[in-house]
Amino acid sequence: MITIYHNPRCRKSREGLAIVTASNAPYEVVEYLKNELSASQISGLLSKLDMSAIDLVRKGETIWKEQYKGRQLSEQQIIEAMATHPKLIERPIVVKGDKAVVGRPPENIAVLLD
């Protein structure tokens, strides 16, 4: 089963969903802005992505610039920021088994699905 963490208002996320749909593999869509992720869920995704929390943050978001940019934050504090403000999470994230990719560019998803 493939899971895509998706924001339907985001063009790249819609492109990622199209790639997942075209794969004809079973999948589920998690609209993470409606169904917010807990800090432990974000930690689990980071483990599957094999990346640090700061690499998953959308640093251009106003919330990041106004509340977090320039501050010395621990890994856990960054994860908590994403749990509190899900708009900060880069998207889409596609998970297959114990591996995951951020679909930026969307072609990253094809590598996971092969």
What residues are labeled active site? 10
Order of strands, sheet of 99-102, starting from the edge strand that comes earlier in the sequence: 27-31, 2-6, 93-96, 99-102
- The candidate with the shortest Cα–Cα distance to 13, out of 107, 93, 112, is 93
